[in-house]
Amino acid sequence: MEKLQSEKQFEVLKQEERTVFMFSADWCPDCRVIDPLLPGIEADYPENEFVYVDRDQFIDICAENDIFGIPSFLVYSNGKELGRFVSKDRKTREDITAFLDNPQAK
């Protein structure tokens, strides 16, 4: 998964066809639980570009997007937010794939 490098890159990626931003941090135990699942999820959803956003490095982006719990996901397409799966709760593979199948439902 690509790691976000700058706030400018975040703005550029939001404009692309379909970008899934995963907000996480190295110290987050619930984030570490889903780490082994992510390569398989990425492979199952090739139409998405997945981008890791380090919560500590990009705290301003988190605040601007109301990301107060991690791991959390935002999906953007052509500059518009398609959906968000934002909470502090632990997420399962099924939770994440259900969200990716229908991001507007969350």
pLDDT at 60: 96
Mean pLDDT, the chain, integer: 93
The number of domains in the chain is 1
pLDDT tens profile 10-60 = 999 999 999 999 999 999 999 999 999 999 999 999 999 999 999 999 999
Burial class (CB in 10 A: 0-12, 13-18, 19+), 103: buried
CA 77 to chain centroid, in Å, comes to 13
Say yes or no to pLDDT of 87 above 90.
Answer: no
Phi-psi region of 78 (alpha: psi -120 to 50; beta: other; left: phi over 0): left
Q: Report the distance separating Cα 83 and Cα 104, nearest Å.
A: 5
pLDDT at 105: 59
- Residue 23, token pair as written in the block: 């907000």
Residues pairing with 81 in the sheet: 76
Domain span at residue 43? 2-105
Average pLDDT for 86-104: 90
